[in-house]
Amino acid sequence: MKKILITGALGQIGSELTMRLRKEYGENNVISSSRSAKDGSDEIVKSGPFEIIDVTNINHIANAVKKHNVDTIIHLAAILSAVGEAKTNLAWDVNMGGLYNVLEVGRETGAAIFTPSSIAAFGPSTPAKNTPQDTIQRPKTMYGVTKVAGEILCDYYYERFGVDTRGVRFPGLISYKTLPGGGTTDYAVDIYYKAIEDGKFTCPLGEDTYMDMMYMPDALDAIINLAQADPSKLKHRNAFNVTAMSFSPEDIFASIKKFMPDFTMSYDVNPTLQKIANSWPDSLDDSAAREEWGWNPKYDLDAMSKDMLEKLKVKLGK
């Protein structure tokens, strides 16, 4: 990786990944992009090169790759699960059309492509506990359909055209810098904001809903470590299961209470979100990522809660 283009760079992952990569690779070697400069914070747009790229327009991607001599595209532009269920056409156009365009530009220019899949690529017929790396994938959301199809398309471009495609299946990501973009796991971010702002939280998922989760510093390590990994060691390349923790609303509530004893939580279950969450794994087996490129997350639930609460208190001026 010498010249990196990030699509969807103003979102939850991109806003942190851009700054981390600019520190590591140099400001001018990391080109951030989004549909509009107004989608996020000024920091990303002003701290290095920025391009307007709508990923549904292949010329936007190709022009930026050629202009900046890009050798790696980290493709993050997407529509997430909850928004995707409300806007299925948009989810298909952005997630499938955008990925196809990025892969085509990779094929034409030789750029390597990193793009995340998700636990949403699994469905109710997948083994829910210790979900294997290679298993049944029959998702029940449009987001999940685009994610599993994206995994297969990335494998195809590697095998058929030699494009260096890589990716992980991220679980729910928790962070304090940029709010999540409309997913089913967003409650696990909202709960920290509400704990600090109101001292109470109404949870949209039932108390026994287990899902895999990860703190953003570990997610950034996953992207960078896999993108830098020795290709001869990679048997899977795309869609590695990665996880750092699996918890239910009761578990995250108990963790926050260790630092804020007066915090309270009640439930008002959202049936649409609950149905999606029920169709996703409870816990992933990430041994392939550990064996093939040394995946080893640093944050567990309490370490994450401590850091999130400290950082958010500063951000919210509390």
Residues that bind ligand AKB (CB under 6 A): 80-81, 118-120, 143, 171-172, 183-185
Partner in contact with 48, chosen from ligand NAD, ligand AKB, none, beta carbon below 5 to 8 Å by kind: none
Q: Are 294 and 225 in contact (CB under 8 A)?
A: yes
Partner in contact with 8, chosen from ligand AKB, ligand NAD, none, beta carbon below 5 to 8 Å by kind: ligand NAD
Least Cβ distance, residue 264 to ligand NAD (angstroms): 26
148 belongs to the binding site for ligand NAD (CB under 6 A): no
Residues of this chain, 110-139, that bind ligand NAD according to CB under 6 A: 116, 118
Partner in contact with 34, chosen from ligand AKB, ligand NAD, none, beta carbon below 5 to 8 Å by kind: ligand NAD
Among 51, 54, 85, 164, binds ligand NAD (CB under 6 A): 54
Least Cβ distance, residue 301 to ligand AKB (angstroms): 17
142 belongs to the binding site for ligand NAD (CB under 6 A): no
Angle at 148 between CA 169 and CA 127, to 5 degrees: 70
Residues of this chain, 180-209, that bind ligand NAD according to CB under 6 A: 180-181, 183, 185
Between CA 285 and CA 130 the distance in angstroms is 5
Smallest CA-to-CA distance from 64 within 114, 1, 3, 154 is with 3
Smallest CA-to-CA distance from 35 within 9, 59, 4 is with 9
Q: Would you please indicate which residues are annotated as catalytic (active-site) residues?
A: 143
39 belongs to the binding site for ligand NAD (CB under 6 A): yes
Q: Which is nearer to ligand NAD, 260 or 281 (CB)?
A: 281
Applying CB under 6 A, the span of 75-83, 195-203, 222-230, 273-281 interacting with ligand NAD comes to 75-83
Among 6, 21, 31, 35, binds ligand NAD (CB under 6 A): 35
Residue 135 Cα distances to 53, 54, 290, angstroms? 35, 33, 18
237 belongs to the binding site for ligand NAD (CB under 6 A): no
Applying CB under 6 A, the span of 176-184, 271-279, 280-288, 290-298 interacting with ligand NAD comes to 176-184
Amino acid at 152: I
249 belongs to the binding site for ligand NAD (CB under 6 A): no
Paired residues of 6 in beta bridges: 32, 74
* Burial of residue 226 (number of CB atoms within 10 Å: 0-12, 13-18, 19+): buried
55 belongs to the binding site for ligand NAD (CB under 6 A): yes
Between CA 273 and CA 271 the distance in angstroms is 6
Helices (H), the chain: 14-25, 42-46, 58-68, 81-86, 88-91, 98-109, 142-161, 187-197, 216-228, 249-259, 271-278, 287-293, 301-315
Among 32, 34, 165, 255, binds ligand NAD (CB under 6 A): 34
48 belongs to the binding site for ligand NAD (CB under 6 A): no
Between CA 304 and CA 130 the distance in angstroms is 22
Q: Are 261 and 165 in contact (CB under 8 A)?
A: no
14 belongs to the binding site for ligand NAD (CB under 6 A): yes
98-109 vs 58-68: helix crossing angle, rounded to 10:
40
29 belongs to the binding site for ligand NAD (CB under 6 A): no
Q: Are 81 and 121 in contact (CB under 8 A)?
A: no
Backbone dihedral angles phi then psi of residue 76, each to the nearest 5 degrees: -115, -15
Applying CB under 6 A, the span of 51-59, 125-133, 234-242, 291-299 interacting with ligand NAD comes to 51-59
Instruction: Give contact residues for ligand NAD (rule: CB under 6 A).
Output: 7-8, 10-14, 34-35, 39, 53-56, 76-78, 80, 94, 98, 116, 118, 170, 172-173, 180-181, 183, 185
